[in-house]
């Protein structure tokens, strides 16, 4: 009983105190924008933002759906490319030696600055947007997956060698399941990147999406709408992140000990 | 049937000889202990038998067939249990089999039951104690399709009490199957208690120092450990090992 009680206490302490801080911040924000008469185009009060969020649902709902789809498919393509690159480089060490340094180097180019080029080459359609998202997503996945393969337990590898396992068996029965936690940490990073990539690619030119909604709101000084967009981007990131954590819980088994420590 | 012949094996490591003309054999159904101080190249010998590296000289024959440099010819249990953390116990014990053929889950279940591990089939390794994990690793070796079993100091990480329990357990399991076993250890008592023959290795480079044929009857009981005769044998082997040290100092 006491044990359960202490868990509950810890749970409430964990969630209640940040909640309190959040509420406090919102109250300060609301009070100061009312008392100090801050103009709404500069910093709208939270209540104004919430009101716009509710009233304007019909205005931005299709933007939201479009961005969600873009981020989702971009993430899927990025994750696939990342995993394929990681496996190829892992299974072909000679290729890895030749390409891996270049891969790291390529990440010194902020992908965002490539976006105008992509627009020139591929126009304003879905293609350049998916390329931007793929480019920002595949790298964290590829790197963490390669790391996961490299950190394969020496003891287990030794056992597999002694047991006479083939290279393919070592890969499917040992290296791949062993790398799963690393793959997932890459996927989690990539999930939030994909939303960011989607919004930024929409800024550059699109006819719908949260990014478009944001640029429109900004040019007409509808700061409340900018905040609504920011809020939904946060929610979208959290849903993506949560979905991946859920998938991780289902797929990663028997490592309770490692998780606790 | 499975009989292992080790013929004049020599191995260099970074230019230094670590095994020098090591020859011995393990007959069918025999339990042989390879005894030597730590760092005497016992594990290296296993790596060579397992085909992970090749000897500079010499050959291994299993049932008359040359298996030098060939992987997967023997069944093996390492020092640490080396269980796969994401596999349940039942999935872990069939792994050796899975690599070469289709796993037989019914036989695995029966084996686990005999090993005193029933009820843990669906558990994960981290939920088991060190001794139990080692049992699982041994069951995995027994279930592997290879008849010849190599055990590399399987109990060295366990405490004294668990170790004795495990030794008795190993003997009961072994009595049922009587597979050929090569057991590497640095513990004299363990070697004497378990094996039919104790081969004493010297160190740097490892050479066969002496061979003792253990006369104790099977099945062996715990009382044996405190008998006059057991202690006499222990002393004899101890002196043989001490001899190594003297030679090195002079």
Residue-range domain boundaries for chain A: 1-37, 44-260
Give dist(CA B148, CA B183) in Å, integer.
Answer: 11
Tens digit of each residue's pLDDT, chain B (250 residues): 688 998 888 888 888 888 888 889 999 989 999 998 877 788 888 889 988 888 889 889 998 889 888 888 888 888 888 999 999 999 999 998 899 888 889 888 988 888 888 889 899 999 998 888 988 998 898 888 888 999 988 888 788 888 888 888 889 888 888 889 999 998 898 999 999 999 998 877 888 888 888 888 888 888 888 888 889 988 888 888 887 554 444 4
Query: Is B142 within a domain?
Result: no
pLDDT tens per residue across span A66-99: 999 999 999 999 999 999 999 999 999 999 999 8
Please check the confidence at residue A261 and state whether its pLDDT lies above 80.
Answer: no
Query: Is B211 within a domain?
Result: yes
**Cβ within 8 Å, pair B84-A174:** yes
Q: Structural domain of residue B235, as residue ranges? A: 4-74+150-157+183-249
- Average pLDDT, stretch A13-33? 89
Residue in B79, B81, B82 to test binding to A, most A beta-carbons within 10 Å = B82
Query: Is B114 within a domain?
Result: no
Mean pLDDT, chain A, integer: 88
Please check the confidence at residue A11 and state whether its pLDDT lies above 80.
Answer: no
Q: What single-letter DSSP state applies at residue B148?
A: -
**Cβ within 8 Å, pair B78-A160:** no
- Average pLDDT, stretch A171-184? 94
From the list B75, B78, B99, the residue facing A169 with the nearest CB is B99
* Number of domains observed in the structure of chain B: 1
Measured between beta carbons, the chain B residues lying within 8 angstroms of A162 are: 46-47, 50-52, 71-72, 74, 76, 78
pLDDT of residue A257: 42
B156 touching A (Cβ < 8 Å): no
Q: For residue A258, name the pLDDT band (cuts at 50, 70, 90).
A: very low
CATH code assigned at B242: 3.40.50.300
**Cβ within 8 Å, pair B52-A169:** no
Q: Are B194 and B33 in contact (CB under 8 A)?
A: yes
CA of A202, closest CA in chain B: separation in Å?
A: 42
Q: How distant is the alpha carbon of residue B216 from its chain centre?
A: 19
From the list B46, B80, B96, the residue facing A163 with the nearest CB is B96
Q: For residue A253, name the pLDDT band (cuts at 50, 70, 90).
A: confident
CA distances from B107 to B94, B117, B120 (A): 9, 13, 15
From the list B46, B47, B82, the residue facing A156 with the nearest CB is B82
pLDDT tens per residue across span A185-241: 999 999 989 999 999 888 887 889 999 999 999 999 999 999 999 999 999 999 999
pLDDT of residue A238: 93
Residue in A159, A161, A167, A253 to test binding to B, most B beta-carbons within 10 Å = A159
B124 touching A (Cβ < 8 Å): yes
**Cβ within 8 Å, pair B76-A258:** no
Measured between beta carbons, the chain B residues lying within 8 angstroms of A258 are: 85, 126
**Cβ within 8 Å, pair B86-A169:** no
B71 touching A (Cβ < 8 Å): yes
Query: Is B219 within a domain?
Result: yes
Q: Which residues pair with A69 in a beta bridge?
A: none
**Cβ within 8 Å, pair B85-A173:** no
Class of domain A44-260: mainly alpha
- Pairing state between β B4-13 and B16-26: antiparallel
Cβ contacts below 8 Å, chain A against chain B, sum to 73
**Which contacts qualify for B234-237: CB closer than 8 Å, 24 or more apart?**
B234/B188, B234/B189, B234/B192, B236/B212, B237/B35, B237/B188, B237/B191, B237/B192, B237/B198, B237/B200, B237/B212
- Average pLDDT, stretch A138-155? 92
Please check the confidence at residue A4 and state whether its pLDDT lies above 60.
Answer: no
- Nearest residue of chain B to residue A259 (CA atoms): B126
């Amino acid at each position: 009983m006491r044990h359960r009680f202490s868990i509950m206490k810890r749970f409430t302490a964990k969630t209640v105190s940040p909640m309190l801080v959040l509420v406090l911040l919102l109250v300060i924000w609301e009070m100061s924008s009312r008392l100090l008469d801050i103009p709404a185009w500069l910093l709208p009060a939270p209540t104004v933002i919430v009101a716009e969020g509710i009233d304007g649902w019909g205005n931005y709902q299709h933007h939201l759906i479009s961005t969600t789809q873009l981020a989702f498919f971009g993430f899927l393509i990025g994750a696939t490319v990342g995993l394929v690159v990681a496996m190829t480089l892992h299974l072909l060490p000679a290729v890895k030696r030749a390409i891996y340094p270049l891969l790291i180097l390529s990440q010194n180019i902020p992908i965002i600055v490539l976006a105008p080029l992509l627009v020139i080459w591929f126009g304003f359609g879905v293609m350049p947007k998916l390329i931007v998202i793929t480019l920002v997503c595949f790298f964290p996945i590829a790197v963490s997956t390669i790391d996961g393969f490299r950190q394969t337990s020496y003891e287990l590898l030794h056992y597999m060698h002694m047991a006479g396992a083939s290279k393919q068996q070592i890969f499917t029965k040992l290296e791949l399941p062993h790398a799963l936690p690393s793959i997932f940490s890459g996927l989690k990073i990539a999930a939030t990147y994909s939303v960011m990539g989607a919004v930024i690619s929409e800024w550059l030119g699109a006819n719908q999406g949260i990014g478009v909604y944001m640029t429109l709101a900004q040019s007409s000084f509808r700061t409340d709408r900018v905040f609504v967009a920011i809020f939904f981007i946060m929610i979208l990131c959290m849903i993506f992140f949560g979905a991946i954590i859920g998938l991780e819980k289902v797929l990663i088994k028997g490592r309770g000990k490692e998780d606790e420590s | 049937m499975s009989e292992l012949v080790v013929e004049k094996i020599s191995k260099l490591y970074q230019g230094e000889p670590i095994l020098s003309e090591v020859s011995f054999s393990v007959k069918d159904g025999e339990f042989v202990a390879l005894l030597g101080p730590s760092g005497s190249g016992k594990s290296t010998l296993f790596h060579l038998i397992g085909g992970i590296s090749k000897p500079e000289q010499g050959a291994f024959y299993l049932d008359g067939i040359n298996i030098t440099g060939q992987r997967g010819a023997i069944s093996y249990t390492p020092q640490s249990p080396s269980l796969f953390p994401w596999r349940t116990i039942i999935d872990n014990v069939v792994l050796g089999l899975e690599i070469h053929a289709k796993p037989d889950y019914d036989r695995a279940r029966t084996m686990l039951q005999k090993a005193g591990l029933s009820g843990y089939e669906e558990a994960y390794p981290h939920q088991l104690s060190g001794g139990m994990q080692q049992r699982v690793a041994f069951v995995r070796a027994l279930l592997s399709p290879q008849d010849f079993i190599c055990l590399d100091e399987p109990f060295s990480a366990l405490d004294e009490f668990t170790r004795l329990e495990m030794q008795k357990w190993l003997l009961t399991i072994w009595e049922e199957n009587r597979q050929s076993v090569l057991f590497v250890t640095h513990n004299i008592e363990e070697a004497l208690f378990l094996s039919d023959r104790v081969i004493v290795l010297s160190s740097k480079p490892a050479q066969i120092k002496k061979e003792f044929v253990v006369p104790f009857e099977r099945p062996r009981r715990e009382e044996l450990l405190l008998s006059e005769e057991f202690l006499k044998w222990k002393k004899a082997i101890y002196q043989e090992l001490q001899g190594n040290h003297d030679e090195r100092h002079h």
